[in-house]
Amino acid sequence: MDLVRNLFGSTIGRKLLMAVTGVVLIVFVIGHLVGNLQVFEDPDRINGYSHFLQSLGPALWAARIFLLVCVALHIWAGTVLAIEARRARGAESYAVKKWIQATVASRYMRWTGYVVLAFILYHLAQFTVGVAQPGTFKANLPHYTMKGAYRVLGVEVVRAGTDVLDVRSMVILGFGNRLVAVFYIVAVGLLSLHLLHGADSLFQTLGWRNHRWARGLRVVVTVFCAAYFLGNLAIPGAALLGVLH
């Protein structure tokens, strides 16, 4: 009980919550990108992968609920920390430079966070529920018959000949609308910046900011965020260029 009170009731506890939920969400977005990049391979790959995920049933729902709780806690802790920081700055208004830096950083995190949240809501409506964009309504999507089996770590999880939803076509049709494709590119760009800045805050919380390998770590994080952006850009970008069909 004390642990819960400390986590939710103290600034350091909320920073820790922010960090832990942030790491969970980063792991998710990396896994999601790796899964999505299968769109560039044979249709068996991404369609089999999506069918496998859907077949997990209750485990998929448990993962969804867990992610949702992490998103909610991340937003809650971030909002409370921002309010606290603003109050603290009000009390120390003489520290002008620090104030300006902190305000720009937290404003920027807040706004990139809002756009990413709006993107996720649209994205869920478009691809998970399948109701946001007429061409990709899930109810009207074509089905696909698996040519071969889909395997995870060598284990067959979807058999050849299985009738699955054609998720690959859904993604390509979705990005057939240029406005949607550009919105995705802007949103994943802002998400990458959010990750870059979030990593800074994480290192600050962990006390690594002034460590002797802090500069090296910063380079690794910057390269990672750039690679993450390029990986995500590749899918709507390829659809816009007509490479993905």
Which residues here bind ligand HEM, judged by CB under 6 A? 29, 32, 36, 50, 53, 64, 116, 120, 123-124, 127-128, 167, 171, 184, 188, 191, 232, 235-236
Shortest Cβ 184–ligand HEM spacing (Å): 5
Residue closer to ligand HEM by CB (options 148, 237) is 237
Q: What is the largest CA-CA distance in the chain?
A: 70
Q: Which of 129, 160, 158, 166 is nearest to 147 (CA)?
A: 160
Shortest Cβ 93–ligand HEM spacing (Å): 36
Shortest Cβ 9–ligand HEM spacing (Å): 29
Q: Which residue is nearest to ligand HEM (CB)?
A: 50
Shortest Cβ 128–ligand HEM spacing (Å): 4
Shortest Cβ 43–ligand HEM spacing (Å): 13
Q: What residues are paired with 68 via a beta bridge?
A: none
Other CB atoms within 10 A of residue 214 CB: 12
Residue closer to ligand HEM by CB (options 26, 85) is 26
Residue closer to ligand HEM by CB (options 109, 171) is 171
Helices (H) and strands (E) in the chain, counts: 8, 4
Whether residue 163 contacts residue 55, with contact meaning beta carbons closer than 8 Å, is answered with no
How far the first Cα of the chain sits from its last, in Å, is 54
Name the pairing type of β-strands 143-145 and 163-165: antiparallel
Residue closer to ligand HEM by CB (options 102, 132) is 132
Residue closer to ligand HEM by CB (options 17, 172) is 172
> What's the CA gap between 244 and 40, in Å, rounded?
7
